[in-house]
Structure formats: C-alpha cells, structure tokens
C-alpha cells in the first residue's frame, strides 16, 4: 500500500533526500533548502520581536506612570476578535497546505484565499483600533495619560506586527496565484504557511503583553 | 515505510488541526478571563506568559509541523532561540533600578 503512493518525481526526490542524511550532497534535516531558509528567517525574526517585547517590558517596568488605557469595549473585545481571526486563518492555511500536498491546486488556492481574507480582516480591525487611540490623543511621543513611552512602544510593536501581516497577505497572494497556475510547487505553499503561522504566533505574545496587561479596570 | 505513511496521515489530519484550534481558542479565552481577575503582577505575568508559550508551542508543533520533522531541525533552531532570548534579558534588572533612580 505504501510503495504505490510513493510515485512521482517529487516523492522520489524526497526519499533520496531522506536517505542521504549526512552523506554529503543531501540535507541533514531532510527538508528542502527553501524550507530550511524560512525556518532560519523565522528564528531571526522571532529574535527581533523578542527584543522589541523585552524593550517594551523594560521601559514599562522602569516607568512609574505607565498608562493602562484599554477598555473592554471596544479595545479588548476587538483585540480578542483579532486573535480569533488570526488563529482561524492559521487553520485555513494548514488546510491549504494539506490540499497542496494532495495536489489539489484549486482547493489549495481557495484555502489560501480564505487565509488572506483573515489577514485583511485583522489589518482592518487593527487600523480601527489605531484610529481609536489616535482620536483619544495617543501619539508616538505623547499621550494624555502618562509616560510618552507608551505611544512609542505600542505603535512600534503593533506596527511591526501589522507590517508582517500585510507582507504575509501579499506573499500568500503571490503564492496562491503561482501555485494555482502551476508555476510553484506544494513545497512553496508549505513555506509560505510557515511564515503565516509565525505571524500568528507573534500575536500570541503581543496580545497578552500589550492588551491584557493594560486593561482598564472598573 | 508503513510507519512513515501512517505518521504523515496523522500529522495532516483535519481532526488534529481542529483539535489544536479549539485548544488555542480555549487558552485565549482563559487569558482574557485572567486579565480581569485581581491578581498580583508577578502571578499574572507568569500565568499569561505560561499560557502564551503553550499556545506558541502548539502552533510550532502542529501547524508549523515541527514535531513531525526530523528531531535535529528542532534541536538546531529552538535552543539557539531560547539562548538568545535569555541573553536579551541580561540587562533587564536595570529597569527596576532605573525606576528608583529616575529624577522626579
């Protein structure tokens, strides 16, 4: 049963890669170079976000008057919905990668489209969130409540994350188009999926550290 | 060979993805609930970061498929990341000192 499924050049190539582990000319991690490259990028990008989150925590601990301005409505509920949207878009992405592995090009492109829609929803919701704060008087270097560092930390962190989401939506669009028309392989879809899940993962730290630890009580 | 086919099937099953998704949503719900409990800063930070690390691990292991890659990949990537993040914390205690030294 198993050997019949292992037909096609992609599978043969994969089998060859897996066998030649440390023999030279192969891949010690049994993955393609694109996937390895994306993993290395993700680790370095994770360090960038860690540095920003730690810098944010540092200035917050060092400030006596750090503002905690987020009302349950609209900020916290909106950020929770954004978390839900991003987590769900990760599920549509794994479905897309799964379809690509099964060689269902059209289905894969549809799932990736759904993922892009999730990303766009996230960006729109976040833009409204920014607009609310800007209306309340928060700027990069001043705000009505306390230390001016709040605005700098908030906009830098969420801004860099939003940039990643925006780049991800464009990246997925390119991949969906090129995979749907046969110019890219299922491995390329998988690699773009890794990037998308990473963007989701980063939000899992920004959401509690920026929003949940700054809720306005009462 | 038989084993690895079964393995990939398990790794890519829709049921598993939905299961992980429910867990991620559930843990997010717990985090939002915790945010409105009157807990001390240290306890709150520990709980929220603990839950976030669990969520990140679920995403890495199942959505990013790292659990089903060769173990050497995870061993190359993760310890390096943890080490660098720990190094970033080296100067962190200064923040507490800064809080008390800053001229009012």
* The predicted structure's pLDDT at residue A2: 44
* Half-sphere exposure in the Cβ direction for A160 (13 Å, CA): 15
Q: Is A204 on the interface with B (CB under 8 A)?
A: yes
Q: Is B61 on the interface with A (CB under 8 A)?
A: no
| All structural domains of chain A with their residue ranges | 1-30, 32-214
CA atoms of A210 and B35, how far apart (whole Å): 11
CB contact under 8 A, B36 and A201: no
CA distances from B71 to A40, A142, B2, B68, B80 (A): 15, 48, 20, 8, 15
Give the residue on A whose Cα is nearest the Cα of B104. Answer: A64
CA atoms of B49 and A208, how far apart (whole Å): 8
Q: Is the pLDDT of residue B44 over 50?
A: yes
* The predicted structure's pLDDT at residue A14: 62
Banded pLDDT at B104 (limits 50, 70, 90): low
Nearest to A77, CA basis, from A218, A207, A209: A207
- The Cβ of residue A181 has, within 10 Å, a number of other Cβ atoms equal to 10
CA atoms of A84 and A74, how far apart (whole Å): 15
List, in order, residues 6 or more apart from A94 with CB less than 8 Å away: A193, A197, B17, B63
Q: Is B70 on the interface with A (CB under 8 A)?
A: yes
**Mean pLDDT confidence for B53-82:** 96
DSSP state of A75: I
Contact A87, B24 (CB under 8 A): yes
Superfamily of domain A32-214: Cytochrome c oxidase, subunit III, four-helix bundle (1.20.120.80)
Interface confidence (ipTM) of the complex: 0.89
Give me the tens of pLDDT residue by residue for chain A, a chain 218 residues long: 444 454 556 666 666 655 555 556 667 788 999 999 999 999 999 999 999 999 999 999 999 999 999 999 889 999 999 999 999 999 999 999 999 999 999 999 999 999 999 999 999 999 999 999 999 999 999 999 999 999 999 999 999 999 999 999 999 999 999 999 999 999 999 999 999 999 999 999 999 999 999 998 86
* Among A5, A43, A62, beta carbon nearest to B77: A43
pTM: 0.89
């Amino acid at each position: 049963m198993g050997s019949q499924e292992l037909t096609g050049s992609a599978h043969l190539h994969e089998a060859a890669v897996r066998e030649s582990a440390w023999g030279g000319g192969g891949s010690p991690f049994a993955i393609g170079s694109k996937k390895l490259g994306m993993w290395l990028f993700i680790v370095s990008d994770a360090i960038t976000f860690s540095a920003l989150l730690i810098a944010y925590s540092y200035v917050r601990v060092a400030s006596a008057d750090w503002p905690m301005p987020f009302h349950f409505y609209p900020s916290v509920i909106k950020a929770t919905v954004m978390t839900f949207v991003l987590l769900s878009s990760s599920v549509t992405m794994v479905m897309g990668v799964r379809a690509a592995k099964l060689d269902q090009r059209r289905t894969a492109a549809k799932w990736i489209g759904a993922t892009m829609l999730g990303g766009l929803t996230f960006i729109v919701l976040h833009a409204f969130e920014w607009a609310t704060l800007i209306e309340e008087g928060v700027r990069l270097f001043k705000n009505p409540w306390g230390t001016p560092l709040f605005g700098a930390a908030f906009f830098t962190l969420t801004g860099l994350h939003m940039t990643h989401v925006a780049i991800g939506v464009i990246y997925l669009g390119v991949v969906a188009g090129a995979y749907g028309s046969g110019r890219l392989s299922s491995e390329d879809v998988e690699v773009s999926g890794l990037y998308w899940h990473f963007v989701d993962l980063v939000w899992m730290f920004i959401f509690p550290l920026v929003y949940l630890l700054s809720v306005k009580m009462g | 060979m038989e084993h690895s086919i079964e393995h990939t099937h398990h790794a890519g099953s829709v049921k598993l993805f939905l299961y992980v998704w429910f867990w991620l949503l559930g843990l997010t719900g717990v985090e939002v609930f915790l945010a409105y409990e009157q807990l001390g800063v240290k306890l709150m930070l520990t709980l929220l970061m603990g839950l976030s690390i669990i969520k990140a691990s679920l995403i890495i292991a199942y959505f990013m498929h790292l659990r089903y890659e060769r173990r050497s990949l995870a061993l190359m990537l993760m310890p390096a990341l943890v080490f660098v993040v720990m190094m970033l914390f080296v100067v962190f205690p200064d923040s507490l000192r800064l809080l008390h030294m800053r001229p009012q």
